[in-house]
Amino acid sequence: MHTKYRLSVCPHDTAKNLAGWFLINTYLQRKLGLAMRFDPFDNFNVERERVLAGGYHLVYANPFSALKYVHERGFVPVARPTGVYDETMLVARRGVGVPATRPLKVSSATDKLIVHFLGLTLLNKLQIPLADCTFQMAGNHLKAAQAVLGGQADVGFVFNETWHGLSASTRESLEIVTATESRMASHCFCVGPELAERIDEVREVLCGMGADPSGKKILDDLRFSGFEPMDTAALDTLATLVG
């Protein structure tokens, strides 16, 4: 019987271009000569729990999920998008900045994403003790920004990609107090134990997409310049961050 593998992709990415991820799945099946089903999810936590429960063999994961998959299910990171990093902007209402009143109300999408942990480093940089903050989990990055805009929070942690996608009027109503430039966190493809003997092949196919006309077309559709090799060592600093 032909083994059927399964691919899972971070909901943040499928929300932007679901069709592009179906194309990547088809491309990988053809290049690797295997049958692989792609199951999209629309919720971070549901997707993570399903992958951790087992039955997935290849994932495109956000940094926090990647750490979980590596440590709890033996996945191995193989490739990440070239030059694309997860960073956090600390935003406040324009002209107001960070108020002196305490506790400081901080909005964040969730404490289950690397954006939150990078945000904590920004508070540390501003010498604001975590004990002086109350955190509100908004559910997603856009809602975290809206909480600041609406006055429910003093400052917010906003994912860099979300910030660049905000409307001009929203960005004009907010200001970036400070931002990380860590270049340490990125979404990545990880291979599960059942595909362990094909790790090098999967990495090779992904990192070779830019040189293949049909692969290049899919990369353009997803707005990636390409994929570059990655290994477990790249996640070590993140493990320290969320530890």
> Are 125 and 77 part of one and the same domain?
no
> Are 134 and 56 part of one and the same domain?
no
Tell me, what's the pLDDT at 234? 86
> Are 99 and 155 part of one and the same domain?
yes
Tell me which residue of 45, 33, 47 sits closest to 3, measured CA to CA: 33
- Residue stretches of the chain with pLDDT short of 50: 1
Q: Which two tokens stand for residue 24?
A: 């990547």
> Are 30 and 106 part of one and the same domain?
no
**Segments forming the whole domain that contains residue 223:** 4-84+184-242
Among residues 179, 199, 226, which one ends one of the domains?
179
> Are 66 and 78 part of one and the same domain?
yes
> Are 16 and 66 part of one and the same domain?
yes
Residues 6+ apart with CB under 8 A from 121: 180, 182, 241
Tell which phi-psi region holds residue 74, choosing left (phi > 0), alpha (psi between -120 and 50) or beta.
left
> Are 99 and 167 part of one and the same domain?
yes
> Are 93 and 80 part of one and the same domain?
no
Query: Would you call 231 helix, strand, or coil by DSSP?
Result: coil
> Are 126 and 161 part of one and the same domain?
yes
Tens digit of each residue's pLDDT (9 = 90 or more) over 44-96: 899 999 999 999 999 999 999 999 999 999 999 999 999 999 999 999 999 99
Compute the 3-state secondary structure of the chain and give helix, strand, coil in percent, each to the nearest 5. Answer: 45, 20, 30
The domain tally of the chain equals 2
Among residues 179, 194, 223, which one ends one of the domains?
179
CATH of the domain at 56: 3.40.190.10
Among residues 179, 198, 232, which one ends one of the domains?
179
Contact 23, 54 (CB under 8 A): no
**What is the strand order of the sheet 35-38 is part of?**
35-38, 4-9, 58-61, 188-191, 76-81, 227-229
Tell me, what's the pLDDT at 3? 67
